[in-house]
Amino acid sequence: MITVLGAGAFGTALAISLSRSGPVTLWARDGDHASEMALTRDNARRLPGVTLPETITVTPDLGSLAPGSPVLLAVPMQQLRGLLKEFGAALGNSRPVACCKGMELETGLGPCRIIEELVPGAQPAILTGPSFAGDIARGLPTALTLACAEPELGRELQQELTTPNIRVYRTTDTIGAELGGALKNVIAIACGAAMGAGLGESARAALMTRGFAEMNRMAVALGARADTLAGLSGFGDLVLTCTSEQSRNTRFGMALGREEAFDAGITVEGSATARAVETRAAALGLEMPITQAVSGLIDRRLGVGEAMEMLLSRPLREE
């Protein structure tokens, strides 16, 4: 039995896809939300228009987990620590798999490191890559990366989490997979801001390219492999997130570029991650000019024109 913690759009989509291969438990913190989904077989609040198969059990009660069962943690990155503080003991005999992307604002840690800290004895994994919840839920083909430092556990999870429409690739580089998913959100905000301000697709292409260089710079400095960033969890996710308005980070950036308000109820992982990355980069002595510009935009220290002027006026150099 696979359990998905988090009944947001992505958690619901994963549960739907996984339920095509067997029973799945979908946990929702809000009891009313869980009852509503169980009754209507629809997650109208987060992923409307997609029917929940009868093989999904929706519940607000985590209950007891079967020893060794996969548990997918599909909650926003900044809520992961709180969830694990509450349920870490119950997860001790399971196989936790992070499905969130980002860097914790207070500590600069990624999800696998937080799981290691709060679930003693756990060997964490992360499932990440270019994917939109709606595509997964509708059965459209998607490829993801499963990163786990322990190779045999990684092979087991790869088999269990592959579905008719999700092809899972495997790596042992958890640091690279974490950082690819986190850093691409920051670059997506920058690209969205450029498009929102009417700076054009050439500017977006430049930001994606130089942003990818920034992603590699930090990832390698923190011990990741460059080839991981060139794969689904880095380059692949960057392309999807920066080029589609389905991306919340891109839409948030577009609102910044247009100087419009953005719905505070929508989770934008790249916002907190940009601040965390800026702090971490400064401590490591890394140049991350796009990240610094995004952080300045979010904090209203910079306007889009000032941010672009700052980037364009940097010293000329070889690529």
| Given the residues 46, 81, 95, 184, the one annotated as active site | 184
- 41-48 long-range Cβ contacts below 8 angstroms, 24+ apart: 43/7, 43/9, 43/12, 46/7, 46/8, 46/9, 46/12, 47/8, 47/9, 47/12, 47/13, 47/133, 47/134, 47/137
Q: Is residue 254 helix, strand or coil?
A: helix
The identity of residue 128, as a single letter, is: T
Annotation marks residue 184 as catalytic: yes
43 with 63: CB under 8 angstroms? no
Cα–Cα dist 263/266, whole Å: 6
98 with 112: CB under 8 angstroms? yes
DSSP string for 185-220: HHHHHHHHHHHHTT--HHHHHHHHHHHHHHHHHHHH
Q: What are 64's two structure tokens?
A: 């007891």
Q: What are 299's two structure tokens?
A: 């904090």
User: Which runs of consecutive H residues, i.e. helices, occur in the chain?
Assistant: 9-18, 31-40, 80-87, 111-118, 133-137, 151-161, 174-196, 201-221, 226-229, 237-243, 248-258, 269-284, 289-298, 304-312
Q: What are 261's two structure tokens?
A: 């308000």
Output phi, psi for 70, to 5 deg: -70, 135
Q: Which residues are catalytic?
A: 184
